[in-house]
Amino acid sequence: MAKAEGRVLLPPTVEPVKYDIKLKPDLVNFTFDGSEKIRLDIQEATDEIALHVKEIAIKNHTIVLKAGSTEVKPEAVTYSIKDATVTFKFEEMLPVGEAELELEFFGLLNDQMAGFYRSGYKDITGASKIMASTQFESLDARRAFPCWDEPGRKAVFGLTLVVDTGLTALSNMPEKHRCYLDGGAKMEVAFMDSPKMSTYLLAFIVGEFDFIQAQTSHGVLVRVFAPPGRSKDGQFPLEVAVKALDGYDDYFGLPYPLPKLDMIAIPEFAAGAMENWGLVTYREVDLLIAEGASRKQMQRVCIVVTHELAHQWFGNLVTMNWWDDLWLNEGFASWCENYMAHEIFPDFAMWDQFTSDTQAAAMRLDSLRSSHPIQVPIKHAEEVEEVFDAISYCKGASVIKMAHAYLGADAFRSGLQAYMQKHKYSNTETSDLWAAWSTASGCKVNELMASWTEQMGYPLVTVKSFNGSEVELEQSWFLADGSEVKKEEEKIWKIPIICKGQKPVLMEAKTQKISVPKSDFLLINAGRQVPMRVLYSDETYSQLATAIQKGQLSVSDKAGLVLDSFALAKSGHLGADKVFKLIASFRSERNFIVWDAISQALTGFDTVLMAGVSDPTYAAFKAFVSKLIADAAKEVGWEKKASDGHLDGLLRETLINMQSKYSVDPEAMAEAKRRFDAFMAGDASLLPDDIKEPVFKMALKSGGKKEYQALRNLQAKATTNIERKHVYVTIGHTADIALKKDVLDWVVSGDIKIQDFFYPMGSVAASSKEAAALTWDYYKSHFDRIWSMCKTASPSLMDAMISLSARGFSTAEAAAEVEQFYKEHPLKQNQRTISQLLEGIRNLRCKASENRDWGVLAPAGYGSSGNQLVKDSRVSSVSKKLRTPLARQGESWTNAAFLNRILKTPVIEESFWKSL
């Protein structure tokens, strides 16, 4: 193996030019036969050729030297399981020039959602069916055919599939021709040659599908493929895709380079979607939209489609040279998903939502010491699996948004177009994008961005003084736990300081004075363009509260102020009582995005208050929240209104969800139960998708086995994955501990597809403190079974299980137990997730962040208590401690500083809550 810049790479002596691949999948025996001819460019004389190969048996191998049409057989063939390679050793040196390597091989259609794999599903008659599809990013093309499986080794691909007649065969490019074999029982489908591209972007699919189609204004054929009978559910994503392709054509200044774009729903899929060039694959729930789907699902489908189609340029046409620039692909596509969704649906308010969603997710993770820089050195390709996280996606998008604000829309776009034109069909590094933007803007973009991409974390900007026209600011490294930053750990960022009515001013020093426009209040980081926290003086907070009441702050600024205030309270920079007074000022607020931010902050407080204060104080907190949301919930109501906009539907779901967690109003619980019963009796009109999940939770909490079994029956009869997911994410909220155990048994039974099996486990863990303890003990005792189910699948599935199994823990003892467990059960590919989980336990996590690209849940807060105690002799000592309020235990708790600060504030007095 060769090493360049510390990277483990295949030797550079031989480069692939074109692959001609023929595959014959067997959907009965779950195998495939393959053959390929790879046109090579031997750039240096060598006596060996190495390729990547995994779980494939090579049967025959020959190399033909084109110069003299000489056929050469290798004298030795060596496999390395560790490096996933095969090396052909030759007696004589192969000369510089063209050559052709011919291989025949055999493989398995696995059930691990990686490589060339099989999916099971039910057709419209209820019959069981099998299809085969691919998922190659990052390192699984080598599971389907021997290749140079590195992003920088681009080549042209010609593909032929031999399949049963009557099946649909798809690939990146349109079909070129077909012929029939075996008396018509088989058909051979050949596809047009692809553009020059990386191996991880090749895709091919075989199965039974229906489709609908449309054409863009620029002449590209777009099709959406679905299981037979469900093509109508592809209408919404088809419309989004048509508009997005035309929009990206114009924005990037380069037309979409392929003649067609197919999007297809895959029954079993580990990610949310995959941007294969010209053949984008999706989880069903992230592509298909049935009539009556929730606003949340519509928005989710929209941004997944706009994300994947952005990749057709940024990632596919221009590709990172190596995995340490993964963020170039994912961060930019995450910015684009919001840009294009906003262009198509302005009423979605995606840039305002960015504050409480994408940026908030980035800042939660990046405030941990176990975070990592956006640009992570990757030596061995397998390491990339650990950086498909909120830093690459969400922080990457956040710093792109910051660059857009600082450079200006025109320079940003013209630089991007120049970058695309210069590097199309090739590979780049981060510095190439900085160079293009520097030329377009005249700014030293590399100097601006290096502090944001090459070091982890983000700044806390403190207002030291303000005289009405000039503000003195100080920056420091913000850490969620408020721990001391030693002198040698200090960081400096180049921070665009953005105030309303003023061009960005760059803060480059530890402290700096900046002139600002005169105003009744000071607002730093207007529009939340920069991922940073801001700490104001008491006087300034009072001015901002007045500005909120006068309607002078934007939605994103209000949401950002709430999120900052909670984070600052948690880290010890702000009193918890001041945060609650700020939140109380939003009673008249009716915007979903602000309420989403409030919900996140309250979830964080709920975790620590439930565990650490007296029962009357916690009850007073819940009563405050119930009162806080009462007017808004009553106004929004349970029913859709003709006047509802997109955000109104999201607000209704949020407020009902908050009622399900905090409400002490028996009328709300009774209404939820009424609607649940009517729905189960066949009246779907009372329970639209927007509110199904919170209503399911409320019915389970107030009910028993009847409600639980009703949901299990609903899942069994469900015909779509979104219907099943509604059940999976709520079923654990049953009040009966025996039924919670039944849910956990269901998780490992094999009856739930592994793409979804973490959802019910997370549901149990989120339902109460006692249930969190039960889940952890169950996970430990069934670890071998869980690991066996997904050990060769995408590491993201095990990441989800790791996070959700310890959901809600917040003590030092819990962290120690979890840490010891993973010392005894090491998981190499999941180490970063484990480290972040441990720090999250030691430093309270406030809200779940669903990974928006691959559909796997991240850690989340948990629901209110009230379920009966676990009575199980296997429950660990840590789990038992979790059931007793910490304030009564006096136990050592890493997050005790936060609790102790709360205990010293008016928050612990019942009179405080009544005064709000």
What are the helix and strand counts (H, E) for the chain?
Answer: 31, 30
Of the candidates 308, 386, 653, 813, the residue annotated as catalytic is 308
Query: Helix, strand or coil for residue 540?
Result: helix
DSSP string, 856-879: -B---------SPPP--TT--HHH
Indicate if 308 belongs to the active site: yes
Contact in structure between 451 and 493 (CB atoms under 8 Å)? yes
- DSSP type of residue 234: G
Contact in structure between 289 and 274 (CB atoms under 8 Å)? no
Decide: residue 3, CB within 10 A, 0-12 exposed, 13-18 middle, 19+ buried.
exposed
How far apart, in Å, are the Cα atoms of 691 and each of 6, 322, 589, 714? 51, 43, 20, 16
Contacts of 254 (CB under 8 A, 6+ apart): 313, 317, 417, 420, 421, 424
Contact in structure between 382 and 792 (CB atoms under 8 Å)? no
Distance between CA atoms of 811 and 813, rounded to whole angstroms? 5
Contact in structure between 778 and 807 (CB atoms under 8 Å)? no
Residue 897 has which token pair?
């500083």
Q: Which position has the token pair 């949301």?
A: 629
Contact in structure between 574 and 549 (CB atoms under 8 Å)? no
Q: What are the contacts of 817-825 at 24+ separation with CB within 8 A?
A: 817/876, 817/878, 818/776, 821/780, 825/783, 825/787
Distance between CA atoms of 755 and 113, rounded to whole angstroms? 8
Residue 698 has which token pair?
């409320």
Distance between CA atoms of 425 and 662, rounded to whole angstroms? 54
Q: Is 605 left (phi over 0), alpha (psi -120 to 50) or beta?
A: alpha
Radius of gyration of the chain (CA): 28
Distance between CA atoms of 267 and 123, rounded to whole angstroms? 11
Contacts of 69 (CB under 8 A, 6+ apart): none
Query: Helix, strand or coil for residue 317?
Result: coil
Q: What is the amino acid identity at position 285?
A: V
Residue 718 has which token pair?
């469900």
Query: Helix, strand or coil for residue 651?
Result: helix
Count of CB atoms within 10 A of residue 792's CB? 15
For helices 758-767 and 737-747, the axis angle rounded to 10 degrees is 160
Task: Give the chain's largest Cα–Cα span.
Answer: 93
Distance between CA atoms of 659 and 695, rounded to whole angstroms? 10
DSSP string, 843-857: S------B-TTT--B
DSSP string, 791-833: TTS-HHHHHHHHHHHTTT--SHHHHHHHHHHHHHS--GGGHHH
Task: Return the HEC string of 463-531.
Answer: EEEECCCEEEEEEEECCCCCCCCCHHHCCCCCEEECCCCCCCEEECCCEEEEECCCCCCCCCCHHHCCC
By annotation, the residues acting in catalysis are 308
